[in-house]
Amino acid sequence: MRIKRTTPRSGISRRTRLTAVSAGLVAAAAIAVPSANASDTPATFSSAELKSASDSVLKADVPGTAWAVDSKTGRVLVTVDSTVSQAEIAEIKKQAGDNADALTIKRTPASSPS
């Protein structure tokens, strides 16, 4: 009994496959590199943008929040306790509008009554 090989063994098919795989890897690297570089450089915000973001947190008027401009990072640090829902956090970001990227939101546990 003779078994016939169905996959080609010619050099042309190997080169074609190698070229296709190489092109795919190059395309994947080209897509990944710009996004990696974008996250390495933090956005800087002007004092007017930070003030506007801070004012929008005040306008959102969500109980259980505290905020301040962090001069070290150049962002508005918003601290929310466990009573603040995801919808309320979304409302704060919505109120900030274009300056929502200037907000850093951190969650802390709610304090128990004494």
pLDDT digits (tens, 9 = 90+) for 21-70: 777 776 666 676 655 445 545 678 898 999 999 999 999 999 999 999 98
d(CA 114, CA 106): 24
Determine contact, residues 34/57, Cβ cutoff 8 Å. no
Torsion angle of the four alpha carbons 24, 29, 34, 35, in this order, in degrees rounded to the nearest 10 = 90
**How does the average pLDDT of the chain come out, rounded?**
80
